[in-house]
Amino acid sequence: MLKLLLATANPGKIREYRRLLRDLPFKLVTLAEEDINAVVAEQGASFEENARLKAIAYARLSQLTSLADDSGLEIDALGGKPGVHSARFAGEKSTDETKIGNLLAKLKDVPKEKRTARFKCVIAIASPTGKVALCSGECHGLIALESRGEDGFGYDPIFYIPELDKTMAELPLEIKNQISHRGKAAQKARRLLEDLRLNY
């Protein structure tokens, strides 16, 4: 069976992608499993650039078809920030709790109706020869006034979905994967990978 490299060291993402991409005719492997320690810097100005950069670099390093993503949170009251800087918005080595605290502090005077936000995800799938395909997904919601929920990772505990009256961190993984930015992008990625498998 052909291998597909999940080009991320984030355990939360790996867990979600193993569920989202299950039943594909690929063996899903991680950077650690392939003994790849290189870190590809996210130097792009957009989610698309960063996802493409990482997928190409890891495909060349591993000589495997590689899937990389870049994702983040855009908050209207902050002019679209943190955006591509979501992971480092509170500092290079900040924890999820620090990131959330930092954002809530910046939004403390913003009323509920103006706390609109969206999660965005762009997935890049690259071959060792440098061919790349991109797909994306979005999920819209509000930034909650406080953290709620124990599941998920990153900003999930403060990303509130009005239709469900829950934050992303309060959702079972199966529901999250149906509505999340990563889930929507992964559904498109599944189709790309199925087509790719047929062309090998």
Model pLDDT for residues 30-72, shown as the tens digit of each residue: 999 999 999 998 888 999 999 999 999 999 999 999 999 999 9
Q: Which contiguous run of DSSP H or E holds residue 27?
A: strand 26-30
Cα dihedral: 151, 97, 8, 173 (round 10) = 10
Q: Which residues are catalytic?
A: 70
Max CA distance (Å), the chain: 55
pTM score: 0.91
- Each residue's pLDDT tens digit, 13-30: 999 999 999 989 899 999
Model confidence at 200: pLDDT above 50: no
Phi, psi values for residue 160, rounded to 5°? -95, 135
pLDDT of residue 60: 96
pLDDT of residue 130: 85
CATH number corresponding to 2-198: 3.90.950.10
pLDDT of residue 101: 96
- Quote the DSSP letter at residue 150: S
Q: Where are the domains of the chain?
A: 2-198
Cα dihedral: 188, 193, 198, 200 (round 10) = 150
- Cβ neighbours, 10 Å, residue 140: 15
pLDDT of residue 34: 96
Q: Look at the block and give the residue holding tokens 């939004």.
A: 107
- Each residue's pLDDT tens digit, 90-147: 887 889 999 999 999 999 999 999 999 999 999 999 999 989 999 999 999 999 999 9
pLDDT of residue 198: 45
Angle, in degrees to the nearest 10, between helices 181-198 and 11-20: 60
Q: Among residues 140, 141, 127, 136, which one has the least CA distance to residue 199?
A: 127
